[in-house]
Amino acid sequence: MLFSERIRTLRKEQGVLQRRLADAIGVDVPMYSRYEHGERHPKRAQVVKLARLLNTDANELVALWLAEAAMNAIGHDKMSARAAELLREQLGGGSLTPSPVPVVHPEPTIEPLLVKAAERDAAERTVVSQMGHKSMPYYIKGDAREVMGGIEDASIDCIVTTPPYWNLKKYNTESIKQKTLDEFCDELLRVMAEAWRVLKPQGSLWLNLADVYDKRAQQGLPWRIALRMVELQGWTLRNDVVWNKPLGEYGSSLDHLRNVHEFMFHFVKSAEDFYFDEDALRHNAKQVGEKTTIMPGDVWNIEPEKSAIERYRVSPETLCLLPIVATCPRDGIVLDPYCGTGTTCKVAYDVNRRSIGIDINEDRLSRARTRVEQKSLSLF
């Protein structure tokens, strides 16, 4: 079994779509299909990336790729038998002087759950069915990844979330258990793998992330996570929105500029087919200082909202409103895996979308419930 047959077999065994692999290695689906049928030959870097995505040994897959390249070069020539003999002698120490075999350094082992959510029996995934068709937000206490494991496949239209700040871990105000920044990134990747699973094919994920400093060095945390999501999980990044906070943070540092922005990344599962209501987005764009006659830009001027909880941030309603009206249909469901005091769910309720909010802190959920009042029923 050479390279093309091997990747085709692995993909089918793991139930991975060609589109996901094609997006991850930067080609279109027809080109990827040619790789699986041996009609075209990918680049070595693409082979290594495929090995990670398909949870197989990179060295072995590269060897199969090289072997297939050699077979394609000599397979139909009348001198192929002699050429193969020369190759064996060259590589195996025969009569010809062998060339040094290049050392292939093994790629770092990628934990499968960073790429794809854990498999579970469909009967164990019941959150949406339990939620029913009630308009009030449906709140669940628990760890984001564990609770999301109970949500049905392809059942959520839009995810809007702000994970905990890494640099607040020392104050014990957030659900951060990881000791290092890399561990924090990995845990967030595991949650994003669940997000891919629960999101509908036409759905959108909006991920708000702020950068951090560690040992006086800026870490590039938002882009670390975004690029790994694209590379490992197959997400398509549509926009990196800069949330500009006009008053910003005062901070205490005297040797670097004040940090006055965060990122809001817009991801989709398919670049060709996703729900997007540009009219609704334009109608609400005036809230970030945009003219309603043009498509809003990717810098949103939104004042931070004050919080009654010390060292705890509350997402501004406008930061949640624009993603929801743009990418969640009116009969859709919005999910916030780190809902905190419930801004995302409140906004979803205000614009007549159902929502699910998850948080590990019962006090936060209690505050979230008090923010939403039951709408009165109309008789007309």
CATH number reported for the structural domain that contains residue 353 in this entry:
3.40.50.150
Comparison of pLDDT for 9 and 69, the residue scoring more = 9
* Residues 268, 319 within the same domain: yes
Structural domain includes residue 44: yes
What strands lie across the sheet with 138-141, from one edge to the other? 138-141, 354-359, 333-336, 156-161, 199-209, 261-268, 236-244, 299-301
Structural domain includes residue 142: yes
What's the number of domains the chain is made of?
2
* Residues 92, 234 within the same domain: no
Percent of the chain with pLDDT over 70: 81
User: What is the model's pLDDT at position 97?
Assistant: 45
Structural domain includes residue 37: yes
Q: Give the bridge partners for 356, in sequence order.
A: 138, 335
User: What is the model's pLDDT at position 77?
Assistant: 64
* Residues 323, 364 within the same domain: yes
Q: CATH no. for residue 17?
A: 1.10.260.40
Give the least confident one: 42-46, 97-101, 179-183, 369-373.
97-101
Distance between CA atoms of residues 233 and 269, nearest Å: 10
* Residues 34, 95 within the same domain: yes
User: What is the model's pLDDT at position 295?
Assistant: 85
* Residues 126, 97 within the same domain: no
**10-34 per-position pLDDT tens digit:** 998 898 888 889 888 888 888 888 8
Question: What's the predicted TM-score (pTM) here?
Answer: 0.71
Give the least confident one: 91-95, 166-170, 277-281.
91-95
Last residue of a domain, one of 57, 83, 102: 102
Distance between CA atoms of residues 178 and 169, nearest Å: 9
**235-249 per-position pLDDT tens digit:** 999 999 999 987 766
Closest CA to 344 of 331, 358, 363: 358
* Residues 272, 188 within the same domain: yes
Range of the domain at 292: 113-370
User: What is the model's pLDDT at position 187?
Assistant: 93
* Residues 180, 81 within the same domain: no
Find out whether 328 and 305 touch, Cβ atoms under 8 Å.
no
Q: Which two tokens stand for residue 145?
A: 């990844």
Q: How confident is the model at residue 70 (pLDDT cuts 50, 70, 90)?
A: confident
Distance between CA atoms of residues 300 and 303, nearest Å: 10
Structural domain includes residue 345: yes
Distance between CA atoms of residues 226 and 249, nearest Å: 24
Last residue of a domain, one of 46, 73, 102: 102
**197-230 per-position pLDDT tens digit:** 999 999 999 999 999 888 889 999 999 999 999 9
Last residue of a domain, one of 74, 102, 130: 102
Structural domain includes residue 377: no
* Residues 286, 305 within the same domain: yes
